[in-house]
A and B are shown apart, each in its own frame.
Chain A
Amino acid sequence: MGEVIVITSGKGGVGKTTTTANLGTGFALMGKKVVLIDADIGLRNLDVVMGLENRIVYDLVDVTEGNCRLKQALIRDKRYETLYLLPAAQTRDKNAVSPDQMQKLCKDLAQDFDYVLIDCPAGIEQGFKNAIAGADRAVIVTTPEVSAVRDADRIIGLLEAEGKSNPKLIVNRIRPHMVKKGDMMDIDDIIEILAVDLLGIIPEDEYIVISTNRGEPAVVNPASAASTAYKNIVRRMMGENVPLMSMEAESGFFGRLKKIFGFKEG
C-alpha cells in the first residue's frame, strides 16, 4: 500500500503545482513508483508543468464517470518510467467529482504506486474537499507573506476538522537576502505562528520559470538552487533525517529550530 499525500495551501499561486511536479519527479529519481493527480478540475496545469499536455486522452472525470479504465487515463512521463500523471478534466467543474469517488480512486492507485501525490486547487470549497478526501497526509505550501500564512492557518484548521492532523509545511520562494535584511519573515517566525512541523524550504529560483517554460521540472537540473531543496524534501518524506541545506542554514533561519522533522514521525 502506497502513501497518498495532498499538496495544498489555501491561497492560490503559492506553488502547489510546481511543488507537486518537482516532488513527484524527485520520487521517480529515487526509483519510486509515483502518480500525480491533478485535482484542479477546470484549471488543468500540472500537465503543462510536466510537459505532458500533448499526451492526454482521458482525464480524472472520465475515470470517475466510467468512460475509461483507470490505467487508460494514466500518462507515463517522458523521461521517468515510474512516474505517471492523472490529468484533471479541463471542461468540467469541481462538482463533477465527489469526495467518495476521490477516496476510491486514491485507494485504487495506492495499490499500485509507492506515492500518490494530489495537486489541490486553491480555496476551501468543493475542489479542496475532493482533493483531501482520499489523502493519508497533507503537505502545506506557503510563501513568507502575511496572506499566504494566514490562509495556511485556515487550511490547517480545516484539515484537522477532517481528521487529517499533523500536516507538514513547505515554505516556498524564500529570498535569503531579504530575510537577512529583515524584510521577509523567516522560517522560525512562520513555524512558531502556525505550530506545525517544517518539511523544507524552497528558495526563489529563476530556474523554476525556465523549467516551466520547457516542461521539465527543475529538480532534474543540478544547476537549479531549488533542485537540492526538492531532493531533500523527497528524502525527508521517505523517512530520512536530512539536515537543512547550507542556503537554508546560512540565512539565519534557525535560531531556535534545531531539528528538522522527518515526514514519518509524529
Chain B
Amino acid sequence: MSGPSTYEPKYAAAKWMDQRLPIIRMGADFMTFPSPRNLNYWYTFGGILALCLVVQIISGVILAMHYVADVDKAFASVQRIRRDVPFGWLLQSMHAVGASMFFLAVYMHMFRGLYYGSYKAPREVIWILGCAIYLVMMATAFLGYTLPWGQMSFWGATVITGFFSAVPIVGESLQQWLLGGYAVDNATLQRFFALHYLLPFVIAALVGLHVWALHHVGQNNPIGISEKTKEDTLAFHPFYTVKDAFAIAVFLVIFAIFLFYLPDALGHADNYIEADAMKTPPHIVPEWYFLPFYAILRAVPDKLAGILLMIGAIAVLFVLPWLDTHKVRSMRFRPVARWFFLIFIVMCFILGWCGAGTPDNVAIKLGSKMVDGVKVDSGITFYRLSQISTIYYFAYFLIILPVLGLIEKPIKRPDSITKAVLGDGKRGAALAPAE
C-alpha cells in the first residue's frame, strides 16, 4: 500500500527539482512500491499489457506515415507498406500480430482477476477501469481492422455498424450518421482512421487511472489476503521488475514466432481481396478475439435480442463486484466456486469455437440420419451449443456467483501472506513454495 514517500534526493539538482516538480520522487516511489511477496506469473500480464500498448502505438504511428485513408488507395497502400517500404513487412505484421497478442494478454489478465477475486473491495474501481480499457480496446481493434480495406474489413464494418440499425425508430439514421453516408464508404474509412489513431491515447489515459487506483489500494495476490505487515511485501524493484522482465521475454518469444513464421495465421485470407460492396464473402467471421461475443450475438434468432445479449455480456463484467458477494477473494479457498470458474473458462472457449462455426452445422456429432436420401451427420449444432454456453455465461455471473456468495463455505486460509509463503518457520528459513 502506498505509505509515505521514502525518497531522499541525493544531489542538489535533484533536490531543486523535487521542490518544484516532484517527478523523480514519483518514479522512485513507483520503483519502491511495496508489493505482496507472493505474486505469481499471472501477475506479470499487467506489465506485458503496458508493453503491448507501447508496441501498438509506435508501430501504428509509423504505419500512419505510409497509409492512405482513401477507398481507392487504402488497400494498395497497405500492400505497398508490406512490399516496398523498407521493413514495412515487419512493422505491418508487428501491428497486426500485436493486436492479437494484446488481446491474448488482456484475456489472461482478466481471467486472473476473476479467479483471484481482484474485483472485490477495495478494488472495484480498478476493475471497472479495466473493463473500460477492454471496451475501448475492442473499439480500437474494430476500427483498425477496417483500414486495410479488404473484404473482411468492409463486411465486418458493415455488420458491426449494422448493430446500430437495431435501435428502435432512430436506428437507421443513427447508423448512417456513424457511417457518414448510406453505406460503408470513403467518409466511413476516413473517420475510422482518425478515431483509430485517437483511441489508443484514451487507453493510455485510462491505464494511468487504473495504475493510480492500484497504487492507492495496493495489489491483490494469489491468496487474496491483504498485506498486514511490512514482512508481507517486497519492493517492486528489483523483485518484480525482474519477474516481469522474464515474463516479457517469454511473451516476446511467442510474439516473434507469430511475427516471423505465422504472420497470417490469426488473420483471414479474404482480407487479401480488396473490398467489394457488391459481394459478401461466403463466410464472415470477426477476428478471433471477438468470436465468443459473435457467438452470443447469433445465439438468438432475433436481431435486437442478439445485440442486447452481446452488450449484456460485457455490461455484466462492469457490475461483477456487486454480483459476487462472497467475502473470500481468492478462489483457492472457495472449493465450489473454483469448479464453476473452470467450467466458465471452458464455456468461453466453446463460445469462441461456435463463433467460428456455421450455426446450422453439426458441432458435436452424435449419429447420422437420412435427409432426402442423403446420409448427413446429426447431433448438436453450433447454434444449440452457442445457446447452451451463452446461458452458462450469464448464469455464472447472475446466478452462480450471487448464490455461492450466500451459501459457500470457504476452506481454511493462512493467517498472512508471510505464513503462506514460509509456513510457520522463522523469517530467513528456506523459502517454501507459495502453494
A, B bound: no
